[in-house]
Amino acid sequence: MIKRLAHVCIGAADLQRTEQFYADLLGMEIAFEFMRGGERIGFYLRAGGTSFIEVFAERESIKDDRARLKHFCLEVEDIDVLIAKLTAQGYDVSRKKLGADNAWQAWTTDPNGLRIELMQYTEDSTQFTGESVVLD
Rounded to whole angstroms, the Cα distance separating 94 from 76 reads 15
Residues 6+ apart with CB under 8 A from 82: 26, 76, 118
Nearest CA among 8, 11, 17 for reference residue 58: 11
Give the pLDDT of residue 131: 87
Q: Distances from the Cα of 1 to the Cαs of 4, 5, 50, 51, 80, in angstroms?
A: 9, 12, 16, 16, 36
Identify the pLDDT of residue 62.
Answer: 52
pLDDT truncated to tens, each residue of the chain (136 aa)?
A: 667 888 999 989 899 999 999 999 999 999 999 999 999 999 999 999 889 999 999 865 555 554 567 889 999 999 999 999 999 999 999 999 999 899 999 999 999 899 999 999 999 999 988 888 877 7
How confident is the model at residue 134, as a pLDDT? 78
**Domains of the chain listed by start with CATH number:** 7-129 (3.10.180.10)
Residue 69's closest CA among 127, 8, 135, 131?
8
Q: What is the pLDDT of residue 64?
A: 57
